[in-house]
Amino acid sequence: MQRLHYPEQPWFVLSAAHRYALMTADDPAISHFYSFVVSPQAALTLAIPDGCVDILFDCDASRPLARVCGTPLQARSAEMKPGHRYFGVRFAPGVIPDFLDLMAEELTDHEFSFLDVVPNARRAFEAIVQSPHFSRQVALFNQSFMPRLTRRCSSITSLILQTIFQQRGNLRVGALEAVTGFTCRTIQRQFRQDTGLTPKAFCRIIRCQSALNRLHAPHAVSFLDLAYDLGFSDQSHFLREFKTLVSTTPLEYQRRMAQEAYQARLHYAAIGEPRLSA
C-alpha cells in the first residue's frame, strides 16, 4: 500500500532521470529512504524547508561522498550532479540522529561532510555507496546506525511536536504555554535545544508542508480555502509565504507537477527489489 511520504522535497523528484524510489521505514524516527539518478538535463535543484535532517549519499564510482543536511529555512540550491546516483535517508521532522557529533542548532540551514560528523563511519559509508541495490543500502544503513538512531528529547518538546503536527502548523506560539504548562521562554529554549528550530519556525515549515500535501491531492484545491484552513490572514499572505519557501506560486507549482508527471515518477519500493538504474 502506498503511503504519503510527508515531508516532501518536490524538486528532488523532478530532478530524477526516470523514477524516484521511496521506501518506508520501520522506525518512526525515519520518514523514509529514497534513491534516484539525477537527469543529465536537470537544471538547478532546490531544497525547501521540511524540518528534517537528510543524509545524502552520492554513490559515484570514482568520487563517492555523503553529506548531512539540516533543514533550510527557505528555498535554496542543493548540489546534485547530473548522472550521479543518490541514496538518501530523511529523518522525521524534528528528529536529530544521535550518531551525529553535532548540536541540533548547528544543523539548521547548514550541511556537513558525513565522515566529519559521524565518528567511525568509514566502513559503513563505503559499504553503502558501493552497493548498487536500494534495498541493500537501506539494510546497511539500519544495521550500522539503528542502535544510535534517535537523540532523546525532552517531554516538553515531544508534546509541542505532537501538537504542531495535529494542527498542521496552524498554531500560535503563545498557545503552547497552555498546552505544556511552561513559560514561553522555557518552551523556546528547550525546543530549540532539541530540534535546532524555534517553535515559530517549525510551525511555519509544517504549514508549508501541509500546503504541499494538499496541492498534491487528486481533487481541485481552492487557494483561498487552503489559506484560511492553514491559518493565514488572507490569500495574499499564503501566496507570499509559499513563494518564499517553495520558490514558486501555488498555481505554477500545480502546473509544473502536472506537466512533469510528478506522481508517475514516484516508485514505492519494497525490500528485495532490484537496483535503480538510469
- 156's CB contacts (< 8 A; 6+ apart) are 180, 182, 186, 187, 190, 191
Pairing status of strand 20-24 against strand 30-37? antiparallel
The pLDDT tens digits of the residues spanning 194-221 come to 999 999 999 999 999 999 999 988 778 8
- State which residues form the domain around 188: 155-247
- Candidates 104, 94, 224, 96; CA nearest to 163 is 94
One domain for residues 168 and 144? no
One domain for residues 21 and 90? yes
Assess if residue 200 is contained within a domain.
yes
One domain for residues 127 and 17? yes
The pLDDT tens digits of the residues spanning 238-272 come to 999 999 999 999 999 999 999 999 999 999 987 54
Cell representation of residue 268: 514505492
* pTM of the entire predicted model: 0.93
Q: Three-class SS of residue 2?
A: coil
One domain for residues 107 and 195? no
Assess if residue 275 is contained within a domain.
no
- CATH number for 200: 1.10.10.60
One domain for residues 160 and 131? no
One domain for residues 220 and 190? yes
**According to the model, what pLDDT value does residue 107 have?**
98
One domain for residues 75 and 208? no
- 199-215 and 250-259 helices, crossing angle to 10°: 50
One domain for residues 127 and 184? no
**According to the model, what pLDDT value does residue 18 have?**
85
Assess if residue 66 is contained within a domain.
yes
Assess if residue 276 is contained within a domain.
no
One domain for residues 15 and 147? yes
> Does a cis peptide bond (omega within 30 degrees of 0) precede residue 7?
yes
**According to the model, what pLDDT value does residue 270 have?**
72
The pLDDT tens digits of the residues spanning 68-126 come to 999 999 999 999 999 999 999 999 999 999 999 999 999 999 999 999 999 999 999 99
The pLDDT tens digits of the residues spanning 116-169 come to 999 999 999 999 999 999 999 999 999 999 999 999 999 999 999 999 999 999
Assess if residue 27 is contained within a domain.
yes
The pLDDT tens digits of the residues spanning 10-51 come to 999 999 998 999 999 999 999 999 999 999 988 889 999 999
Assess if residue 274 is contained within a domain.
no
Assess if residue 217 is contained within a domain.
yes
One domain for residues 144 and 160? no
One domain for residues 39 and 79? yes
- Candidates 257, 264, 247, 25; CA nearest to 139 is 25
For 82-110, give one letter per residue: b (16+ CB within 10 A) or e: eebbbbbbbbbbbbbbebbebebeebbbe
Measured CA to CA, the distance from residue 94 to residue 128 in angstroms comes to 25
Q: Is the pLDDT of residue 278 over 50?
A: no
The pLDDT tens digits of the residues spanning 177-187 come to 999 999 999 99
**According to the model, what pLDDT value does residue 271 have?**
55
One domain for residues 55 and 92? yes
Assess if residue 254 is contained within a domain.
no
What are the residue ranges of helices labelled H in 131-267? 134-145, 155-166, 175-180, 184-195, 199-215, 223-229, 235-246, 250-259, 262-265
**According to the model, what pLDDT value does residue 63 have?**
96
**According to the model, what pLDDT value does residue 275 have?**
42
The domain total for the chain is 2
